[in-house]
Amino acid sequence: MGRRVISGLLNGVNPRDPAVYAGAIRLALGAGRHQVFLLVVRDGTLLVAIGIGIGLTAGLAGTRSLTSFLYGVSTFDVPTFAGTIAILAAVAFAACAIPARRAMRVHPIAALRYE
pLDDT digit string, tens, across residues 79-105: 888 998 899 889 888 888 887 787 777
> What pLDDT is attached to residue 111?
64
Residue 95 CB: number of other CB atoms within 10 A? 22
Q: Is 73 helix (H, G, I), strand (E, B) or coil?
A: coil
The percentage of residues in the chain with a pLDDT greater than 90, rounded to a whole number, is 5
Which of the four pLDDT bands, split at 50, 70 and 90, describes residue 115?
low
Instruction: Tell me how far apart the alpha carbons of residues 115 and 112 are, in angstroms, rounded to a whole number.
Output: 5
Task: Say whether pLDDT at 2 is over 60.
Answer: no
